[in-house]
Structure 1
């Protein structure tokens, strides 16, 4: 029997996200329901309830995670694209829980150990995807991931809905720009992209309860993410977190200026 490879430190953050989704799913009047999130947490032998009281940043991150889950759910299902790509998919279960239009093909990319853990849990739960789903094991920090995606059936000539959820903050500015450049090269006109706006390092609160996560942050493109996209063939729209929160009936202050970006590919893909 092959011994499962351990998850990397960054990959383990997907368990924290699954824990938030599990808590929201069990709450009254949840913004979404993820029937598999609790199973991921249980399989990891980590409790759903945190052992220590969350600090201010931990609380803010949990609220942002809930809001971004529903925000991205709505953007992907309503994108009008029949080709969807989720980068650094982690323990995402959108292929299994969302009401996808007929004909949608969804690709997930992440590291092999993540998929091994994820597929083991989903198989135990008897989960079945609600669209055509293809898992593509790949390292997004290497140039080969684009070839792997195309080799799995992805068509760069078709408009695509891309999701980059919770990833760029763990990359350097150079790594983030390289990743987004490749996404642009794979994106036909009318493709759509959803991702976080990025935060200023000056707004990060010292919170020991999430130090195991924030210590991994490298910042990505920060608050310059939308500007970078606009300069590289995308028409962007920013969605401040407080506005998204109000839209979903969860009003909150947003002193850090965080939020989300949606973008439409306007320039043709590189040859």
Structure 2
């Protein structure tokens, strides 16, 4: 029995409504479901199963030694022949994050917008002093944290990890309380994060635009459902993506899954997987940068007033 039978495709595509209820607050609005009926948990588990299947390959795109602790014990171990596009995206995002953090001087802040079962903080070799923030649903994260504790997952030496619940009343404040600094470089990633509507994603972009220093990168997968609802968007997807990101201050590049496949020397099964893989650069100054410059301008102006008074 293959993955499709073990975890129906509807499990992957079920995402609760993601809304902004107040300044900097991003929350999940969904029916109260218990245990195995939680759509957030089902979606996160399905993605973890894909990573588990990929890890079992003789020559995997990546290794996720912790994915197994998230999936049911009866999960099939027969390797699927074609690479799933989700795994291609995971490989691309892994390489982009790790390469950028390792090669960019002063870049110590990594922000992951996830489904709660992202194992990147543990399975990738982050440089010493990297600070990782995970923004994800609290219910899923708690389950994942317990499972990771059971297999003794550890962060790379000298790195720090903070979880920011998606349900926080003020995500920006919560991050700053943990030490996030918008006047320092950062890199952001989105994969599996519960986004359901275009308005929801625009809220995410606005939040990142406020928090990320100019020049920071944002990499990830844009859910296909955001574009598929509009026929006009589908006819010119690249133009739509450019306009969407630019409206929030980002210059974006769409990444072709086939291009990633060629670089890995693999075939993949596209099927109905139409997510948009992207890399975007922040063109605007963060709120913290603007506040620093406002204070500096005020200081210079005050010093000028004092000098003029002394001359009189």
TM-score for both structures, normalised by structure 2: 0.68
Residues 1-271 of structure 1 correspond to what in structure 2 (within 5 A)? 6=35, 8-42=38-72, 47-49=74-76, 63-79=84-100, 80=104, 81-130=107-156, 131-139=159-167, 144-167=170-193, 170-199=195-224, 200-201=227-228, 224-252=240-268, 258-270=275-287, 271=290
What secondary structure does 1:264 align onto?
Answer: strand
Match of 1:213 in 2: none
Are the counterparts in 1 of residues 251 and 280 from structure 2 also a CA contact under 8 Å?
yes
Partners of 2:138 and 2:58 in 1: CA distance: 35
Are the counterparts in 2 of residues 77 and 98 from structure 1 also a CA contact under 8 Å?
yes
In structure 2, relative to structure 1, the CA distance for the partners of 1:127 and 1:198 (3 Å cut) is closer
Partners of 2:44 and 2:59 in 1: CA distance: 24
Provide the alpha-carbon RMSD of the alignment.
2.9
For each residue in 1:46-73, what CA deviation from the matched residue of structure 2 results, as whole angstroms up to 9, or x when unmatched? x3229xxx9xxxx99x611110111010
What is the Cα deviation at residue 255 of structure 1? Answer: 8.6
Match of 2:20 in 1: none
Structure 2 unmatched ranges of 5 or more = 1-33, 291-312
Are the counterparts in 1 of residues 62 and 91 from structure 2 also a CA contact under 8 Å?
yes
Are the counterparts in 2 of residues 241 and 258 from structure 1 also a CA contact under 8 Å?
no
Residue-pair matches, total: 237
Partners of 1:147 and 1:248 in 2: CA distance: 40
In structure 2, relative to structure 1, the CA distance for the partners of 1:255 and 1:32 (3 Å cut) is closer
Larger-Rg structure? 2
In structure 2, relative to structure 1, the CA distance for the partners of 1:143 and 1:174 (3 Å cut) is farther
What secondary structure does 1:136 align onto?
Answer: strand
Partners of 2:90 and 2:241 in 1: CA distance: 20
Partners of 1:65 and 1:20 in 2: CA distance: 8
Partners of 2:129 and 2:52 in 1: CA distance: 29
What is the Cα deviation at residue 232 of structure 1? Answer: 2.1
Partners of 2:276 and 2:196 in 1: CA distance: 18
